[in-house]
Structure formats: C-alpha cells, structure tokens
Amino acid sequence: MTERRRLAVVIGGGNGIGAATVRVMAARGWRVVAADLDDAAATRIAAEVEDGVGVGLDVTDPAGMEVTAARIEADLGPVAALVVSSGAFHDSLPPHRLSDDDWSRVLRVNLDGTWHADRIFGGRMAARGAGSIVNIASVTGLFSSPLLAYGTSKTAIIGLTRNLAGEWGHSGVRVNSVSPGVTLVERILKHRAAGTRYYGSDFGTHAAMGRSVEPSEVAETVEFLASDRASAITGIDVPVDCGWSTAAGWEMFGGARPPVTPEATR
C-alpha cells in the first residue's frame, strides 16, 4: 500500500508566489490543495501537479472557510501544512489620496484573511498536536515604504505569526513567516514592462545581489519552513529579498558597488 503523502493547503495558490509554492511543495513530496478566490486558476495550477486539488476560497468569508477546511479534511485527511499567500494591493499614494475603502480592503484581505486562515486551519492542527503554518509577509512590513496599507498589513502579519507561534508551540504547531522582496510574479512584470515609477526596469539593482527574486526562490524557503527539516524553527520571519534590506543603507553612498573584476584585484 502506498504511504499517504502529507497534505498542504496553499491559500492564494492560483497565481504568483502561491502557485510557485504549490509546484515546489508537490515536487518535494507533499499532496497539495491550491485554494484561491479564483477557483478556475486554483484548479488549473492544481492540475499541473500530481494529485493536486483546486478549490475556491474567499479569505474574507470565515464561515465559508470553516466549511472548506472541514470538507478538505473529510475528503483528503488532516492538513499538515498551511501556507497563506493571498494578498490585496494598492497604488503607491500619499495618505490624503489613499481612500478608506482601499485601506479597509487591503487590511481585510491581507491581515484579517491571514488571521481567519491561521485560526481555522491552525486550530485544527493544535487540537491534533501537530502542524506547520507559513504566512507570506513582505519586506514592506519590515521597513518604511510608500505602500501604506499594504506595508502596515504585512507588519501586522509578522506580529500575528510570532504571537501564534507562542500560543501554539506546546500544541506542536510551528508558525513562521516569509518576507519576499520584489518578486518577479506576473503583476510585477507588468509594472516593469509599463515602466511604472515604483517598479522601473532597474529595481533589482537596489538589492545587494543586483537582481530581483524569482517566485520559486520564495517557494523553496516556504517549503523548508513547512517541512520537518525546520522542526526547531518557529516564530521567525525570513526575508527572501536578494539582499534588498541589506543594501538599503548603501543608497546614500551611491548604491551597491559594481561586480569585482579580476583586473580590479591586481
């Protein structure tokens, strides 16, 4: 009899970092449920991997999420890992131009949605005495940025992660977060192609490594934290940003140095 693979649910799994995480976790031996507000996208990504399952899920509807969580576990077994990668965004605007509706929408999806998912799926893990949660935050949650609602929501997600790690540690549930830098998902690539001010063609040069992050690089970190290889790690946030946060202080001195050449060392 084939051993049952452990089950992971990736919320926001229909696109971007979430979709990359579905692919990486499946490649590492997990059975993965891709959950997304866009259920067609979730189904499409799930079809790419072995035994993948796609479901529609709205993180702003906790009652509906309760039903979905119960159905997933009844049909597929206990969820061993939860990844929360759903997100809402907004334009870079000063406070007097950022509407209350946009502020509330971003906080409702990013922070409240993460809370609902962690509480509903994580509560079931805690009752069983085992599980792992990885929340997707952002480097905008670590430093000042012009993304006022988005950055604030991500700062709060990092705090929520730490608090739940303390809450559920004795119940065998680990809770961590990952903070990506500028990651080359479709949304960012469209901004770059359009020459949008805050996503210009050279934005990778502001990172210590001189480039932006690939979605798979974030996904690899997520899968590690979800797995037993990270069995002693909980309550931390891991920036995956190609050293953007490291290089920030270099801007006032003209930016990171160019690559060292053999001639320069002679």
Q: Which residues are catalytic?
A: 150
Angle at 233 between CA 227 and CA 237, to 5 degrees: 100
Amino acid at 87: G
User: Which residue, among 55, 45, 39, has the nearest Cα to 16 in the 3D structure?
Assistant: 45
Q: Per residue, what are the HEC states of 108-142?
A: HHHHHHHHHHHHHHHHHHHHHCCEEEEEECCHHHC
Q: Name the DSSP class of 231.
A: T
C-alpha dihedral sign at 84, 88, 93, 99:
negative
Q: Name the DSSP class of 95.
A: T
